[in-house]
């Protein structure tokens, strides 16, 4: 014969799980996890480096009198050209078919040199069309450009970028060191951003998402374990 206490427990109305501190903590963790995952998946803006593999030799490896298209330049609407004494004007340097290099004035072979950390934005003057050339062009020659110097550029669709470069006028030689652009249209970039000048590439969101999921999973396991213990204690009593 069952005890009165057992019968009362069986007939008692079922109650929803208690909303104790453990449950609240779990919900908080999961809320943070969902929020963080959303932020990580939507992060896309940042500085994007351009691969210069095979282009770091003298005059980017372009033969004398020739030119080469920077095929790794990933911004639609623009083509970047690397020239080595090309054409009747013996042009040497970098040219864009749209927008172009930041200049000291509106003349050829007068690129503006930016120091590391300097801001490249719409406040600078940019040559347009094929006139966007440094360092020797149409009879003009740029002064030497030493190490840790950067050219600024603006693409036709309004993205700003930089090219780290050296130039020696006496030997008609330039060397490309690095180049990158800001993925967001109209957003300024800092020269040398990917090397600590300020900014840098957006980190891959996967690692952050995994950490959030692990945190949420741990909280869930702890909450379930506590619920089982409470249930066992209730049955035992």
With bands split at pLDDT 50, 70 and 90, how would you rate the model's confidence at 114? very high
- The whole-number average pLDDT for the span 110-116 is 90
- Please give the mean pLDDT across all residues of the chain: 73
Model confidence at 125: pLDDT above 50: yes
Percent of the chain with pLDDT over 90: 31
pLDDT digit string, tens, across residues 15-28:
444 445 555 544 54
- How far is 114 from 101, CA to CA, in rounded Å? 12
Q: Is the pLDDT of residue 5 over 50?
A: no
CB 79 within 8 Å of CB 233:
no
Write out pLDDT tens, residues 25-62: 445 444 444 333 333 323 346 898 888 888 989 999 99
Distance CA 114, CA 181 (A): 15
Which has more pLDDT, 55 or 75? 55
Predicted local distance difference test score (pLDDT) of residue 77:
65
The per-residue pLDDT for 17 is: 46
Which of these, 12, 106, 92, lies nearest to 60 by C-alpha position?
Answer: 92
Lowest mean pLDDT among 17-31, 38-52, 78-92, 197-211: 197-211
């Amino acid at each position: 014969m069952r005890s009165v206490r057992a019968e009362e427990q069986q007939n008692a109305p079922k109650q929803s799980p208690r909303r104790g501190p453990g449950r609240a903590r779990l919900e908080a963790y999961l809320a943070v996890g969902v929020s963080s995952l959303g932020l990580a998946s939507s992060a896309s803006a940042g500085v994007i480096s351009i691969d210069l593999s095979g282009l770091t030799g003298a005059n980017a490896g372009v033969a004398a009198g020739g030119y080469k298209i920077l095929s790794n330049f990933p911004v639609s609407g623009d083509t970047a050209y690397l020239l080595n004494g090309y054409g009747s004007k013996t042009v040497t340097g970098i040219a864009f078919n749209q927008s172009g290099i930041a200049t000291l004035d509106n003349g050829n072979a007068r690129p503006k040199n930016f120091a590391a950390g300097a801001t490249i934005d719409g406040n600078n003057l940019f040559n347009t069309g094929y006139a966007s050339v440094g360092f020797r062009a149409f009879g003009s020659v740029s002064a030497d450009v030493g190490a840790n110097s950067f050219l600024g550029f603006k693409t036709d669709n309004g993205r700003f970028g930089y090219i780290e470069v050296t130039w020696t006028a006496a030997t008609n030689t330039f060397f490309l060191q690095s180049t990158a652009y800001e993925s967001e249209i109209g957003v300024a970039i800092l020269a040398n951003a990917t090397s600590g000048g300020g900014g840098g590439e957006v980190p891959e969101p996967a690692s952050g998402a995994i950490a959030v999921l692990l945190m949420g999973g741990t909280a869930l396991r702890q909450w379930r374990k506590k619920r089982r213990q409470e249930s066992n204690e209730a049955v035992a009593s």
